[in-house]
Structure formats: structure tokens, C-alpha cells
Amino acid sequence: MLLPVLLSYSGFTALCLSMDRHHRDLLARTPTARVRRLLQLCGWSLLGLSLAAAVLATGWSLGLVQWCAALMASALLLVWLLPYRPRLVMLMAALGLLFSPLVALALG
């Protein structure tokens, strides 16, 4: 369940950064249209990878339930951290992307 949470948190962070307001709050600049599209693509791809990781780990029936739980937990964490600890949001997303391949190798 750790891998879907890491991937979904990073995906939600990328989708959050694709919005002008959050990008400006977290990185102190406005994204270009190309950067916005790239962040959206990365965010949706990471959410898709989190679904694949959950389904591959436990099958379709339990995997979908675990994926929904991972989505809710990671979105709640992001929404809670964004106004209070914006720097921690970026650090956790970077660490999630860094440790995701290691967790996948450990599980596989």
C-alpha cells in the first residue's frame, strides 16, 4: 500500500503545481502553458501508475479499494500541508518520487 500512496501523493502534487495559484505559492513564479501541460500529464500519469501498483499488488477487487484509500490519504495530506507547510509539500513529493522505485524493487 506504500507504493500507491507515494505515487498518488506525487501525482496530486504535480496536478496542484499545474494550477497558477499553487505554482506561484510554492515556487514563486507563474507556470507557462507548456509547463502546466507537462505537470498535468505527469500528475495524471502518476495517478495511473498508483492504480496499476495497487491492482498488481492485490488484484482488482482489493486493489481498487486500496487505491481509493491511497487517493484519499494522499489528497488529505496534501490539502492539510499546503496552507501550513508548503515547503514540506515539495520535499515530500520529491522524496516520494525518489523512493517509489526502491519500494517497487523491494516489493517485486
Give residue-wise pLDDT tens across range 51-79.
999 999 999 999 999 999 999 999 999 99
How many domains are contained in the chain? 1
Say if 107 falls within a structural domain. no
Say if 90 falls within a structural domain. yes
Say if 105 falls within a structural domain. no
40-45, Cβ contacts within 8 angstroms, sequence gap of 24 or more: 40/14, 40/15, 42/11, 42/14, 43/11, 43/12, 43/13, 43/14, 43/15, 43/16, 43/18, 44/11, 44/15, 45/11
Please check the confidence at residue 3 and state whether its pLDDT lies above 80. yes
Q: What is the pTM of this model?
A: 0.93
Mean per-residue pLDDT, 35-56: 96
Say if 11 falls within a structural domain. yes
Q: How confident is the model at residue 21 (pLDDT cuts 50, 70, 90)?
A: very high
Say if 30 falls within a structural domain. yes
Please check the confidence at residue 107 and state whether its pLDDT lies above 90. no
Say if 57 falls within a structural domain. yes
Report the pLDDT value the prediction gives residue 104, as an integer from 0 to 100. 85
Where in the sequence is the domain holding 71, given as residue range(s)? Answer: 2-99
